[in-house]
A and B are shown apart, each in its own frame.
Chain A
């Protein structure tokens, strides 16, 4: 069930009604959320609901086990059990074929025939696995109290607005919301509706309309430098519109119900260095990687060289989290190197020479765009084609039309985001005079109806 589908609108309307009816009982509301989340997930493929439940039940039991453990060794045993179960499920369903293929390629000279399996990737597996793991690690570290209610825990890891593509919520932020009375306010509802409208606009209008343009460039046998650059810009906007749109809708739906989800995107394309980019892009994954991987590896506590290695390893694994393909690893590595260079520059270079703001922004965006080429490429050959094309200045005959259409979808997005950044307020439109507020919201709604597709286009991050 996709947010940008008519069936979801019907589902959510029915849910709202039931949610209203359950207002007097916390237990009933949690059962309702869990049931609706299961239905939401099963709509895609009911068989994989079992995986979600296994992950949830194991980690719930592990949490209780840790509390009852008296020795650290026993607690560590429980942690290992959770890691083994969660990562085995993730590894098998997401990475089995990738590793078999890579291994087969490595052993190709020996003519070994390694069979792959036809494995369907369960939607959202990376998101809910990381969310559940964060709970276990937090309980292990003593940073969170384990819940004693299975329903609350399952509702926490399967909460339908953020189940399949995040934000990856920490238990200390979301789990307590299933344990207390929520308050649905007029302001919260207004903000929620804005987030839903703005998120759907970014997805349905911006991302879905840029998608065929991106394909035009990335499927072209010899695109030429200008087209590759334009394609990279279009893809940067597409993936941003798609993913941040999803996150906004998720936050908006939750806000309408009285829940609060974490901010996942903070205007990332205004970043002036690569570290800032990662503080703004997919914030909940970046912070997850920082807290559970980078810090676990030693962070910056074990000397300068080890810090660089930790940065690189964290980003390589972050890249692999996105998808079982080498281009994602390469993309992660690219950003890892970027973060290493930035760290070095911050330590040594920036004292001697300070870049003007516009140049820092330009260099950061150029770096990010090159990264998106790696991310979007289909194969190693394709990466070569794209980067070699950058050296050719052949202009395809439709370049002017491409720019025109790109601007058509970029301008409204850029304008509102520029306004948000200037005021530092994500809800700046709601704070504007009545006629501006109503006008903008109505235009967003009309453009949604105009571009709404009968066959909903899935979100890019569903495949991760």
Chain B
């Protein structure tokens, strides 16, 4: 017995498929034309947690905030500084701005962001503080995709993602335009604890704007969860990358370096001494004017959200120390807070 008969020809099938595909290419053409004619809004691809933070910070860096002190660094910089405390510490005469990013952009990425910020805030800027977690100095590779993302954002270009068959198909169909210019502007749910704390990308973006670029890590630290993996050393390969940062600063703007604190349970013996040595050597590579040696190297576990981020209370305490010292320094008052080492 025959299995089945086809009462359809190849031409019919071809017409069926073409009926669906042809308009897709028409829509793609329209999208590309709309970009060319500048009919669509600029890209704002805040599509997830990492990209929301980068987009926010990149946008902040190219805006004139009249900032006197700018913080640049990794996710510890983003999370360990409390926006509320900075605002209180600012008083009438000092403005702070935090440009820390969630995904690791490396010193190359930090320099790109800083260069934009310096361009916009040249008149007001007095000091740049580079704040990173000590583990970062081991020189893990920066996330290449996010570096491209950042440069695309600055170039007002549509980001296509890592090259693959899929990204090429997306780009041909103009879907990267939809994603970056339209979808990113609509609410996107943030994952896990960040979702519960902030909800959507738009809420995080607004939170960061209100908090001078800072965010709060909503996780809860489980003591000892990172023990055995902590390793604090300075990778030699970082030296050339570090030097770029000073180069983008005009004369008169001071460069300060600091390391974020680590949880008590993760600190090896005599960690403070080791941290100071590490910091000193890194400061030399950075050609830093100031080294913040007496900020706490270790803080109680209860003040941490994760191995590398302080929680809200921890960030408040750490920022109070940081803000007091910076305020006194910039106003030319004698230091009463943590010691500083002027170079």
Contacts and interface: CB of A to CB of B under 8 A. Distances in A.
Interface of A: 19, 22-26, 28-29, 180-186, 189-190, 193, 197, 212-213, 215-216, 219-221, 257-258, 396-398, 401-402, 404-405, 408, 437-439, 441-443, 445-446, 449-450, 452, 454
A184 B24 contact: no
Contacts of B93: none
B5 A184 contact: yes
Contact of A398 (B5, B21, B200): B200
Contacts of A193: 16, 20
B39 to A, nearest CB: 19
A185 B8 CA distance: 5
A438 B26 CA distance: 11
Interface in B1-30: 1-8, 12-13, 16, 19-24, 26-27
Given A438-B19, A445-B24, 13 more contacts: A26-B3, A185-B8, A189-B13, A189-B16, A216-B199, A398-B203, A402-B187, A402-B199, A405-B186, A442-B26, A449-B173, A450-B175, A450-B178
B189 A216 contact: yes
Contacts of A197: 20
B92 to A, nearest CB: 30
Given A190-B16, A450-B175, A438 B22 contact: yes
Contact of B191 (A183, A212, A220): A212
B195 A215 contact: yes
A452 to B, nearest CB: 8
Contacts of B22: 438, 442
Contact of B187 (A19, A186, A405, A454): A405
A261 to B, nearest CB: 16
Given A401-B187, A442-B20, A220 B196 contact: yes
A405 B203 contact: no
Nearest to B20: A441
Nearest to A30: B3
Contact of A186 (B7, B27, B179): B7
A332 B20 CA distance: 42
A212 B188 CA distance: 9
Given A401-B187, A442-B24, A184 B4 contact: yes
A442 B27 CA distance: 9
A437 B5 contact: no
19 contacts: A19-B4, A22-B3, A25-B2, A185-B7, A189-B8, A189-B13, A189-B16, A216-B189, A216-B199, A221-B196, A396-B199, A402-B187, A404-B186, A404-B187, A438-B23, A442-B20, A449-B170, A450-B170, A452-B166
Contacts of B179: 450
B103 to A, nearest CB: 18
B127 to A, nearest CB: 34
B110 interface: no
Contact of B4 (A182, A396, A397, A404): A182
A222 B265 CA distance: 31
State the main secondary structure of chain B at its contact with A.
helix
B199 A24 contact: no
Interface in B28-66: none
Contact of A439 (B2, B21, B23): B23
Q: Which 4 residue pairs are nearest across A and B when measured between Cβ atoms?
A: A398-B199, A29-B3, A401-B187, A442-B23
B292 interface: no
Contacts of A19: 4
B5 A446 contact: no
Contact of A408 (B3, B23, B178, B186): B186
Interface of B: 1-8, 12-13, 16, 19-24, 26-27, 166, 169-170, 173, 175, 178-179, 183, 186-189, 191, 195-196, 198-200, 202-203
Contacts of A24: 2-3
Contacts of A445: 20-21, 24
A404 B201 CA distance: 13
A450 B23 CA distance: 16
Contacts of B166: 452, 454
B200 A28 contact: no
A446 B3 contact: no
Contacts of A221: 196
Given A401-B187, A442-B27, A449-B169, A182 B3 contact: yes
**Highest count of chain A CB atoms <10 Å: which of B2, B4, B27, B198:** B4
A23 B169 contact: no
Contacts of A437: 19
A303 to B, nearest CB: 50
Contacts of B19: 437-438, 441
B7 A183 contact: yes
A216 B5 contact: no
Contacts of B12: 186, 189
A420 B17 CA distance: 23
A155 to B, nearest CB: 12
B308 to A, nearest CB: 24
A446 B195 contact: no
Contacts of B169: 449
A257 B186 CA distance: 40
A161 to B, nearest CB: 15
Contacts of B183: 450
Nearest to B6: A184
B52 to A, nearest CB: 13
A212 B3 contact: no
A134 B330 CA distance: 82
A181 B7 CA distance: 13
B9 to A, nearest CB: 8
A442 B26 CA distance: 10
A405 B4 contact: no
Contacts of A397: 199, 203
B189 A446 contact: no
B27 A446 contact: yes
Contacts of A257: 4
A231 to B, nearest CB: 12
